[in-house]
Chain A
């Protein structure tokens, strides 16, 4: 622990479309230590998935990392050729996607798809790889893996397909696993199974995890550190406790307030965030959240705020935290009373 595995520095990713340059990620910096589970939370269009695709080198035309560095084990991934990236992908960094039906190949058996990954990256023959594949399926909790290894994806249920995806991703024991909305397409009871599996495998195989989701409940369960993204920028970063109990950015507070609490029994009215997310073709000059923020000041519209470190490991980009900012009574949305 404590050793840095991934270090993203001022990464900017854009999509050059016919309507103009969509600035999906507009300068994002963060690090990930070995064995850590980092959560990236945000709504659709916040840039969370593009961030992960940029790290994986999976951006397709017209998308491009236009600036910044991505250090993985002290090597800059943005400088790697696509061949070198192919050796890293699947072996050292693996990814699980949201929709297990479209990310598995329907014309190959599950076993073949795991074997493919193992043979590609490890010095084993197909026979050994098959044994390994069966072991992996057993590890992720597929019943009678000796038989199931020869099934096609359509013969698996949604939850089992996601388990198979995890088996493929972990077959080469990667150092980093990026899970992009791994449970969004699944039912709650199956989601609980998969999250439990991810937590268990993380400890067993000592894999670092980046979990990307829009579900605050899911990150609270799995992650120790959380990044909140909005409009292509990191709004707030801190430990799970800091982000949930002492949020400092109005967007984080807004998110926490807009979800109903299952464990609070009195009937509360939801407090939605008014308005809609910004257009990233013409991102606002100032803070991306300024148009929806209840505390907007003049400067918020003109200039994007820098990060203020509330604590050494807790930062947020908000003008309210600036030392010259007027004192504002901010309703953080953290209600700890009334909980059973």
Chain B
């Protein structure tokens, strides 16, 4: 087991922005931008799991991908272990690629169907010159064993596996380079309920054994609550609330968080019958022309005049609980 110092910050994000260009004019002139991630800041401590939740199109996956520079950030800084990696070239990034890995949502699309499982896992060992020959083979068998598969599986192809098993292969591939930080982008949403729990338990065990740090992206709030230490809630490219996971569910402050939490169907007939649902009106607006001021105001039941004029600042309402909403008193300090 690795020693984990819980207060050390592994990754810090400052004012991260990612805009995607959409050409609208006939000759591709008048450019518009999808503001997929717009000015968000957060940090993740070593050995911690930060959950990122929000509806589709809120920018949570883009945040994850920009974080490991699968997308080039439009603005802001990404500081990994004290080094600003946002400006690094592809070559300079290579040692960091080893430290940051990703597990993808769709276990059917994220494995090369023409490669054996052994080669899928071994590919990253080759790229980073970690092991060759017998050592490589031993490492692959060891990894398969770690994720609950056997070494016979190494010579098979992805189509011979079920969804849950494929996700295990994806996890083994991520672990191959001995990373410090893993981004789990909806790793369980394509799996059946009984299989989800298997994978989540395994992720928790691996975190303990290897001292991993996770960014766990999901839209299933009950699973996120289960696995995360802290949770960030995103809406339309903005972080609206960020706090300890217990605190978030006990005292949600942002109206969007409150609606999101109350919308989750609870598997308990009596609790569901007696709960008061906040039903949000309408749909998420387009991120090309997001509403002025607070982006949630078009669906917010408490929206005031000020919400349209001024963008709310991220304020720290209690220790480590950040909310970006005009309902919060101005006396709370603005988060840096």
Contact = CB atoms under 8 A, between A and B. Distances in A.
Contact of A258 (B197, B246, B261, B264): B197
Interface residues of A, number: 46
B229 to A, nearest CB: 10
A256 interface: yes
B264 A339 contact: no
B15 interface: no
A273 B194 contact: yes
Contact of A160 (B196, B246, B283): B283
Interface residues of B, number: 44
Nearest to A191: B263
B93 interface: no
Contact of B283 (A188, A190, A260): A190
A270 interface: yes
Contacts of A220: 265-269, 272
A190 B260 CA distance: 10
Contacts of B259: 189
Contacts of A1: none
A254 interface: yes
A276 B162 CA distance: 9
Nearest to B267: A216
Given A244-B269, A260-B223, A262-B266, 16 more contacts: A143-B282, A189-B263, A191-B265, A192-B277, A215-B265, A217-B272, A218-B265, A221-B272, A258-B193, A262-B225, A262-B261, A268-B226, A270-B200, A270-B226, A272-B194, A273-B197
Contacts of B280: 189, 192-193
B112 interface: no
Given A192-B279, A259-B267, A43 B222 contact: no
Interface in A19-71: 43-44
Contacts of B282: 143
17 contacts: A43-B195, A157-B283, A189-B259, A190-B283, A192-B265, A214-B193, A217-B264, A217-B265, A241-B270, A254-B194, A259-B193, A259-B222, A260-B222, A269-B201, A273-B197, A273-B198, A274-B198
A121 to B, nearest CB: 31
A255 B282 CA distance: 33
Contacts of A262: 221-222, 225, 249, 261, 264, 266
Interface string A182-199: 000001111111011000
B194 A258 contact: yes
Interface string B255-292: 00001111111111111100001011011100000000
A273 B197 CA distance: 8
* Residue from A189, A190, A196, A265 whose CB has the most chain B CB atoms within 10 Å: A189
Contacts, number: 123
Shortest 9 CB-CB contacts between residues of A and residues of B: A217-B265, A272-B197, A216-B267, A260-B226, A192-B263, A187-B55, A258-B197, A273-B194, A270-B197
A185 to B, nearest CB: 10
Contacts of A210: none
A195 B264 CA distance: 11
A265 B197 contact: no
B109 interface: no
Contacts of A190: 55, 283
Contact of A188 (B221, B225, B250): B221
B261 to A, nearest CB: 8
B56 to A, nearest CB: 6
Interface in A52-107: none
A263 interface: yes
B197 A187 contact: no
A216 B225 CA distance: 17
B164 interface: yes
Contact of B260 (A188, A193, A196, A216): A188
Contacts of A216: 193, 267
B45 interface: no
Contact of A193 (B198, B201, B267, B279): B279
A258 B197 CA distance: 6
A195 to B, nearest CB: 7
Interface in B177-198: 192-198
Interface in B145-189: 162, 164-165
B222 A159 contact: no
B219 interface: yes
A270 B310 CA distance: 43
B264 A188 contact: yes
A217 B56 contact: no
B124 to A, nearest CB: 27
Interface string A244-256: 1000000000111
B66 to A, nearest CB: 22
Interface in A255-288: 255-256, 258-263, 265, 267-274, 276-277
